[in-house]
Amino acid sequence: MKFQATSRKPETIKTEGLALFHYEGEDLAGPVKDLDKILDSKISKAVKSGVFEGKQGQILQIDTLGKASAEKILVAGLGKRDAVTLETIRRAAGISARAFRDGGVKNFVTAMALAEVKGANAGLLAQSAAEGTKLALYSFDQLKAEKQKKKIESVTVVSPDAVSEPIVAKHVRRGVTLADNACLARDLINLPSNIATPSYLANEAKKAGKELGIKVTILGPKEIEKNKMGGLMAVARGSHEPARFIIMEWMKGPKNQKPITLVGKGLTFDTGGISIKPSEKMEEMKSDMSGGAAVICAMRSIAALNIKANVVGLVPSTENMPGGSSVKPGDVATGLSGVTMEIINTDAEGRLILSDALAYAKRYNPDCVVDIATLTGACAVALGGFASGLFGTDEELVGQIKESGEATGERCWPMPLWPEYEDQIRSEVADIKNVGPRWGGAITAAAFLKKHVTGKWAHIDIAGTAYISDKPRSYIPLGGVGLGVRLFVDFVERRLGL
């Protein structure tokens, strides 16, 4: 799919499809008003009759029958003008792109970068439009004999004027890069676990290293044992697939700049182990490596965009399987941090493997550590599927991640992490136990991770947001969301003031 920019007036461009926008409760304006005159007032009649009100999520499609330069016109509702955000643009662009594709359009022009968003220039609007378009057109059909037949071949993003056209073009390329890597993360999540094994994830990291100049180191079972990563070793015991500890280093910032360390849970399949899960929907547990996919693909994005920063990505990866050699409830493991962990529930395995990665992160003397993981069903119960849980030891760090979540549409909501919750994971036979009481499960899981951390740290629980199985959204199809890739890139730049 080809993306490009132009400063030509959208209503004058000869194209199969033209995507425009309208604010709820306002009179027609700009290209929409001009085209309405040409199209015998079809748009204004639709607004007047209430068929199309310009609300967010609404679209109006019109076949111009040769009366305009565009064969088909699509007007997307943005809602009230003062409530429009970059996420509104992403959603409108995504809905428009999917409607055009499903209608058989192969090439279209989008005017979404001409909208108004407080604090955003045409470049950011164009980037959002490119992201929404690319993400919405994602299709996972690589394992199917019958592929998606209807495809968009080219998208042209309209710039407000010739002066801003190079800026718009640059941001369109950036948006496509970010969306491409989010789509790669979706692929990794959607692939079945017999393909996307720990070794497969490690090879994807190696591929990124060769393509983009990232230093990649992979630790196998012997190195993991040598490094005394007791949490990862305990979880990996029941699987025939060898564990991997993935290290990705992008050190392109100032030499005296402490690195930001990103940690992602790479559990390629989770049966629950001896504390086995119910069989219903267990197939979705291939998505338990969504955090690992986010880190690998965020590192790809940072390198592809040549961001002048020092960033390290760590992904502990294994399966959690039942078997004769599996870790058992009541067993005690000693993590890399030296903390002893009583394993009450083998299905609370993510925190065990993350504990070693968090402890390993100390070797870099990092500016901060941020982990992302499909960690607890309790977080999904608390926040549903529209916000990830956010925990941390530093208010500024937590605030920056929250801001990045708002900017990218990958929203995070801060949760408490008071000492009382840490008291609930004290063990009678070890330093801590890997589960607390039923209530506040997302918080006690975060409290467990905190025991292995020093310095500034934040934890993002994406158990409710990483995978969609009910119905698709504006630019998010069913399956893996690819959440965290765009969030992390924005956060790194925000944190470093880039």
The kind and range of the H/E element at 458 are: strand 457-461
Three-state SS at 358: helix
Give, in order, the Cα–Cα distances in Å from 479 to each of 93, 132, 266, 468.
20, 17, 17, 5
> Which of 401, 414, 400, 416 lies closest to 483 in space, CA to CA?
401
Closest listed residue to residue 137, CA positions, set 472, 408, 485, 471: 472
Q: Which of 186, 286, 351, 451 is catalytic?
A: 351
Answer whether 242's CB lies under 8 Å from 220's CB: yes
∠ CA 187-376-273, nearest 5°, is 80
- CA angle 251–255–256, rounded 5-degree value: 125
CB atoms under 10 Å from CB of 334, counted, come to 17
Catalytic residue flag (residue 150): no
- Those residues with Cβ within 8 angstroms of residue 301's Cβ, 6 or more apart along the chain or in another chain: 177, 178, 181, 485, 486, 488, 489
The C-alpha atoms of residue 323 and residue 282 are separated, in whole angstroms, by 17
Cα-based distances in Å from 218 to 23, 47, 180, 246, 248: 51, 58, 24, 5, 9
* Cα–Cα dist 372/274, whole Å: 25
d(CA 348, CA 321): 12
Tell me if residue 351 is catalytic: yes
Q: Are 242 and 317 in contact (CB under 8 A)?
A: no
Selecting among 277, 328, 362, 473, the annotated active-site residue is 277
Q: How many angstroms separate the CA atoms of 86 and 127, rounded? A: 9
Active-site residue list: 277, 351
